[in-house]
Amino acid sequence: MIQPTKKNPDALAGAIGADRDKKAVNYPGNGTPPDRLNARSKYCDPAHKAVARMVGYVLTLGTEAAWHGLTIVFLRLTDHERAGLAFATLRSMDKAQARLTFEAAMGCTGAGMPQAPLFNHMDQAMFWADMAEPASLAAYCLASFNAMPRGRQAAFLDHVHGRAAA
């Protein structure tokens, strides 16, 4: 009886695709083959990935220092990208909160106190009222009303009530 020759296991391994002589393939990042990476890993700009990671960290921490640090990371983005993020964020808020957020970010302090009139008091008052914050408007309105003599207060109220009826 003829005995079949025994096959070398290393030779068989090469026949089925394994090659022990080749080094293991080193894939970028986490060792996942490129065809199995998610779309963000394959196509996103590295700056965008860094910003997205940092936003996650800041949301987790939630501290004032973390939010201030995020402004530095945002410098990796273009002006257009930062404007888009700011626009989308402000649009997601109600108008009062968006206004407060914008004013805090830009260091706005409102219109301040009314200035001396350039032409007449009414022109200056209307100019100031267009820029004043609602809280400032209410405070100056009440203070002005309380400072008026009684007769002037009555005339002012008649004017306001007549305007409301119209």
Report how far residue 136's alpha carbon sits from residue 109's, in angstroms, rounded to the nearest whole number: 10
37 or 18, higher pLDDT: 37
pLDDT at 23 > cutoff 60? no
Residue 123 pLDDT: 81
Mean pLDDT over each residue of the chain, to the nearest integer: 79
Which residue stretches of the chain are H helix? 9-15, 39-43, 46-61, 64-73, 79-91, 95-106, 121-131, 134-147, 150-165
Q: List all residues 6 or more positions away from 98 whose beta carbon is below 8 Å from its beta carbon.
A: 90, 91
- The residue-averaged pLDDT of 142-165 equals 87
Residue range 78-100: mean pLDDT, rounded? 92
Query: In the predicted model, is pLDDT for residue 19 greater than 90?
Result: no
pLDDT tens-digit readout, 29-79: 666 565 666 777 778 888 888 899 999 999 999 998 999 888 888 889 999
What CA–CA distance (Å, rounded) separates 59 from 52? 11
**pLDDT of res. 8:** 60
Residue 96 has pLDDT above 80, yes or no: yes
Which pLDDT value is given to residue 146?
92
Strand partners, 84: none
**Residues 19-26, mean pLDDT to the nearest whole number:** 53
Tell which wins on pLDDT, 58 or 17: 58
pLDDT attached to residue 21: 52
As a whole number, mean pLDDT of residues 79-92 equals: 93
Q: How far apart are the first and last CA of the chain?
A: 119
